[in-house]
Amino acid sequence: MRTPLFIFWQFVVAAALFGLFRYIGNDYVFFAGYTVLEFIVLATAWNILGGYCGYVNFGSAGFFALGAYSTIFLYTVGQQADDIFPESMAQVTGLIFPLPLPVLIVFGGMVAGLVGLGMGYLTLRLRGVFFAIGTLALAVVLQTFIVNWSFVGGSRGAYVIPPNEIAVLGPYIQYLFLLMLLLVVVALTTARLIERSRLGYGFATIRDDELAAEACGVPTLRLKLIATVLSGALMGMAGAPFPFYIGYVEPGSAFDLSYAVNSIAMPMIGGTTMWAGPMIGAILLGTLQQLATVTISSAANLLIVGLLLIGFVIVAPNGIVGLWQKWIGSRWKS
């Protein structure tokens, strides 16, 4: 299937989903659905670096939080524009702020992508293991900086007040849901494009045998940096609307370890070799967690995720997609 057609079908499914939720009429499905969509983006983003290249990122929370806190930063700047900017600029700032959410998303993506680039440059020339530990280090260092940065709220946290309603749609959450749907389309399309391109081959050689890849002429460092930037940027974009979704952001929730675990567990359970795997994992685990949080407890649902991760990693390393492929007995790659 050619890419434009793929995008078209995604829009069809997205529109159908949106229509269904509107029909149900309960705001809760939008809130819960948003979380699942967010997971699809995070899982797909993680998989670009983790599944395709074989480089594990433990710091997904860091990139996600970068997106969230870029939003908070720009929001706060907008709120305090009169204090920050000179009088003469009042007209300009009045026009720019408050920045629309799509702009914030792009900005969050850029910030996260840039940080990914910097960190990648520091650690990607070393073994994959050091990169993984480096990502963990990055998340903690970022969190410590945010905790000590009072402009974005520090450890007290920051409030972001979204509008209650939005034109055409009604409840603001539906607007957020729509934007996240768009991000899912972007993420899935990116992943699928990579898979089918020369870049995808390059990533696979890095995963299989980096030394041999270099000997074949593959510029491994450059490709790894591309993967890190793409992955980080997508995660940042997923995080950018978060403050508007939740209203109050403090470092603990933005940098929560569950983001790291979920963004690893979902692709590994769903399947790391193709674009659909992380999506499948995200939908399954996302809904499972929504149910568990409501019925048992939020700690228990994380336990389930952790156990499933360990179980799948040992027993079914190619995830659900892998199991299905084995069952069909055929190969996907042409």
Partner 1 sequence: MTAPLLKVDQLSKRFGGFIALDNIDLAVAEGERVGLIGPNGSGKSTLVNCICGTLHNDTGSVSFAGDSIDGLIAHERTRRGLARSFQLPRPFMSMTVAENIRVPLLYTVAARAGHHVSTAETKSRCMELLKLVALDHKAGKNPRDLTQVEMRKLELARAMAAEPKLLIADEAMAGLSHSEVEDIVALLIRLNERGITIILIEHIMRAVMNFSQRLVVLVSGKKIADGKPDDVIKDKDVIGAYLGQ
Partner 2 sequence: MDFNLLINAIIAGLMLGAFYAAVTAGISISFGMLDIVNIAHPAFILLGSYIAYIVNVELGVDPIIVSILVLPAFYLLGGAVYQIYYLSFEKYGQESLRGLAFFFGLLFVTEVCLLLIFGVDYRSVTAIYMGPSLRFWQLEFPLRLLVPALASVAMFLGLQVYLSRTFIGRAVMAVSQDPMALRLMAVDPTRIKRIAFGMSIATASMAGAFLIIIQPVIPSVGRDYIGRIFAICVLGGLGSLPGTLIAALLLGVIESITSVFYGPSWSPAVSFGLLLLTLAVRPSGLLGR
Q: Which residues bind partner 2 (CB under 8 A)?
A: 50, 54, 56, 58, 119, 122-123, 126, 128-130, 132-134, 136-138, 140-141, 143-145, 147-148, 155, 207, 257, 260-261, 264-265, 268, 272, 299-300, 302-303, 305-307, 309-310, 313-314, 317
Length of the chain: 334
Q: How far is the CB of 313 from partner 2 (least distance, A)?
A: 5
Q: String of b and e for 277-287 (b: at least 16 CB within 10 Å)? A: bbbbbbbbbbe
Residue 326 interacts with partner 1 (CB under 8 A): yes or no: no
Residue 198 interacts with partner 1 (CB under 8 A): yes or no: yes
Tell me phi and psi for residue 242, to 5 degrees. Answer: -50, -45
Structure tokens that stand for 323 in this block: 């199991």
Partner whose binding site includes residue 219, from partner 1, partner 2, none (CB under 5 to 8 Å by kind): partner 1
Q: How far is the CB of 315 from partner 2 (least distance, A)?
A: 8
Residue 126 interacts with partner 1 (CB under 8 A): yes or no: no
User: Which residues are CB-contacts of 313 (< 8 A; sequence separation ≥ 6)?
Assistant: 268
Nearer to partner 2, 10 or 301 (CB): 301
Partner whose binding site includes residue 205, from partner 1, partner 2, none (CB under 5 to 8 Å by kind): partner 1
Nearer to partner 1, 59 or 202 (CB): 202
Nearer to partner 2, 13 or 141 (CB): 141
- Interacting residues with partner 1 between 258 and 317 (CB under 8 A): 273
Nearer to partner 1, 53 or 179 (CB): 53
Residue 158 host element (H or E): strand 158-159
Report how far residue 307's alpha carbon sits from residue 286's, in angstroms, rounded to the nearest whole number: 15
Using CB atoms within 10 A of its CB, is residue 4 exposed (0-12), middle (13-18) or buried (19+)? Answer: exposed
Partner whose binding site includes residue 130, from partner 2, partner 1, none (CB under 5 to 8 Å by kind): partner 2
Nearer to partner 2, 92 or 310 (CB): 310
Report how far residue 207's alpha carbon sits from residue 302's, in angstroms, rounded to the nearest whole number: 29
* Distances, alpha carbon 152 to alpha carbons 57, 71, 82, 157, 204, in Å: 26, 10, 17, 7, 40
Question: What mask of x and - would describe binding to partner 1 in positions 206 to 235, judged by CB under 8 A?
Answer: -xxx-xxxxxxxxxxx--------------
Nearer to partner 2, 236 or 251 (CB): 251
Nearer to partner 1, 54 or 67 (CB): 54
User: Which residues are CB-contacts of 197 (< 8 A; sequence separation ≥ 6)?
Assistant: none
Partner whose binding site includes residue 300, from partner 2, partner 1, none (CB under 5 to 8 Å by kind): partner 2
Structure tokens that stand for 30 in this block: 């939008």
Q: How far is the CB of 215 from partner 1 (least distance, A)?
A: 6
Report how far residue 248's alpha carbon sits from residue 196's, in angstroms, rounded to the nearest whole number: 41
Inter-residue contact 40 to 279 (CB < 8 Å): yes
Nearer to partner 2, 179 or 274 (CB): 274
Q: How far is the CB of 190 from partner 2 (least distance, A)?
A: 21
* Distances, alpha carbon 262 to alpha carbons 41, 44, 219, in Å: 11, 11, 30
Inter-residue contact 48 to 190 (CB < 8 Å): yes
Partner whose binding site includes residue 261, from partner 2, partner 1, none (CB under 5 to 8 Å by kind): partner 2
Among 50, 108, 113, 202, contact with partner 1 (rule: CB under 8 A)? 202
Using CB atoms within 10 A of its CB, is residue 149 exposed (0-12), middle (13-18) or buried (19+)? Answer: middle
Nearer to partner 2, 138 or 254 (CB): 138
Residues that bind partner 1 (CB under 8 A): 198, 201-202, 204-205, 207-209, 211-221, 273, 333
